[in-house]
């Protein structure tokens, strides 16, 4: 499933207002400024089953872009939330980190949707949320060795200029 929510409709819908508040609470200062000043902000919702090919997301993205243009939704910015895993460490910042201030752990990020890595490389701003306390991390199936690396679940909030997000979709089409 792929869709976009217009976060500029917060005065009409309480749920949109709650989403705006949650995103603002979990974003860096640059992102907060853009959230407040943007006339048309979209939240991308993209869900697919784990282990399905990234090739399946491309037609969904392309169709979404067509629908956005057809409905004349002129988003200034698009927010995308990426599911990632980071190695468990004692020193990891558990709230947010700004793009550009990469830590050693960031090089070991596992993207649950492979194409999200390309989106992250092109985003304007990024913020990280630790959601490991909201997930059943230790309940996953599998045969693990005692010395295997364990991971914590995070979400990366990615902010794009809408035109940049469309360009990444075009680049994905060339790669996939």
CA distance 103 to 100: 9
Q: Looking at residue 150, what is its pLDDT?
A: 83
Structure tokens given for 55? 């090739």
CA distance 148 to 153: 16
CA distance 79 to 161: 9
H-run or E-run covering 39: none
Residue pointed to by tokens 């929510």: 5
Alpha helices, DSSP H, located in 45-131: 57-70, 116-122
Q: Is the pLDDT of residue 143 over 60?
A: no
To the question of pTM greater than 0.85 for the whole model, the response is: no
DSSP character for 123?
-
Q: Which of 147, 148, 100 is nearest to 128 (CA)?
A: 100
Q: How confident is the prediction for the chain on average, in pLDDT? A: 84
Q: Looking at residue 137, what is its pLDDT?
A: 54
Domain map of the chain by residue range? Answer: 2-175
Q: Which of 108, 84, 123, 95 is nearest to 26 (CA)?
A: 95
Question: What is the per-residue pLDDT across 75-113, written as a single tens digit (0 to 9) for each?
Answer: 999 999 999 999 887 544 444 455 544 444 445 889 999
């Amino acid at each position: 499933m792929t869709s976009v929510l217009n976060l500029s409709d917060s005065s009409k819908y309480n749920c949109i207002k709650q989403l705006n508040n949650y995103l603002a609470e979990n974003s860096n200062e640059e992102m907060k400024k853009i959230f407040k000043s943007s006339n048309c902000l979209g939240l991308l919702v993209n869900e697919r089953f784990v282990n399905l090919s990234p090739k399946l997301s491309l037609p969904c993205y392309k169709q979404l872009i067509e629908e956005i243009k057809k409905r004349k939704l002129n988003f200034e910015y698009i927010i995308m939330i990426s599911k990632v895993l980071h190695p468990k460490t004692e020193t990891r910042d558990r709230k947010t980190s700004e793009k550009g201030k990469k830590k050693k752990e960031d090089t070991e990020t596992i993207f649950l949707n492979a194409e999200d890595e390309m989106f992250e490389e092109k985003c304007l701003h990024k913020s990280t949320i630790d959601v490991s306390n909201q997930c059943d991390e230790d309940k996953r199936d599998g045969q693990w060795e005692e010395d295997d690396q364990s991971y914590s679940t995070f979400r990366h909030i990615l902010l794009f200029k809408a035109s940049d997000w469309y360009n990444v979709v075009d680049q994905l089409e060339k790669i996939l």
